[in-house]
Every structure is written in structure tokens, then in C-alpha cells.
Amino acid sequence: MTSTDAKSVVLAYLKAIDERNPEAIQATLWEDVEFRIPGDHALAGNWVGMDEILNKFMLPLMDLFSPDVPYTIETSQIVAEGDTVVLDCVARSASRSGKPYEANIVSVFSIRDGRIKTMREFFDTQYFVRTLFDNA
């Protein structure tokens, strides 16, 4: 797989997230895909398998955001070398209580045969928790 092809897989994944489209997200992932968010915070964890990632990570995560405000991802930089893609982006939306949400995120993907095999994500976890969990 070329670096260009690997980038296109990640861009298709981002588009599916922007559209909140679980079927399109699934089309970009391997059945045994693994997502990892390191740390000691509300979102930290390791999810393995498409079902676990969609139902125990992604869909609950999307429930933290306002359904009335689009969830958008603006790519600042995307770099690929072989099957590895590093994404620097800004995610924007609003919490369920209406607080604006703007997070800088770096994700590292490994791509295998045209689909995402692994993803590790890094972001300001204190901001995430403060914005999405402290909604009172």
C-alpha cells in the first residue's frame, strides 16, 4: 500500500465520523481493529474488535456531544509513511449542555490492506473531561 492510499483510508474514516455514519465507519475498519487511548481519565482505554469499538467507544462518545451541533474534524496535517498515518487535527462540536468543544488531537493509525488495523489517539484529556463531563 502506498502512503497516498493509506492517507485516503484515514480521510474516509474522518468523513464517516463527520457524518456520524456507523456503516461508513465500519467500512474503514478491520473486524479485529484495536483502538487505544492512553492515560488515566474518563476516555482512556483499549478497545478490540469492531463491535466493541463502535458500541462501547464511538457511539457512547458521540452521545456526549450535542446532536444539534455538527461534529467536524479539520485536518491540520496528515503524514504517511508506508502503512503508518499520523493525523494532526482539530475536532469541533458542542457538549450536550451547549459548551463549545474544540480539541487538538493527534492520532497514529496503522493501515493493513486498505483498512485501519490500529489507532492510538492523544489529546488534552483535562479539557475533554472538563468540557464533556462537567456539564452542570
Full pLDDT tens readout for the chain, 136 residues:
676 799 999 999 999 988 888 899 999 999 999 999 998 877 788 999 988 998 888 888 888 999 999 989 999 999 999 999 999 999 999 999 999 999 999 999 999 999 999 999 999 988 988 898 875 4
C-alpha cell at 109: 493509525
Which range marks the domain in which residue 115 is found?
A: 3-132
Number of domains in the chain: 1
| pTM score of the predicted model | 0.88
Please name the residue that has the C-alpha cell 458542542: 94
- What value, to the nearest 5°, has the Cα angle with vertex 111 and ends 105 and 48? 75
C-alpha cell at 61: 462518545
Fill in the DSSP letter of residue 49: S
What is the separation of C-alpha 2 from the centre of its chain, rounded to a whole number of angstroms? 22
For residue 54, what is the domain's CATH number?
A: 3.10.450.50
Kindly report the backbone phi and psi dihedral angles of residue 128, in degrees, each rounded to the nearest multiple of 5, phi listed first: -55, -50
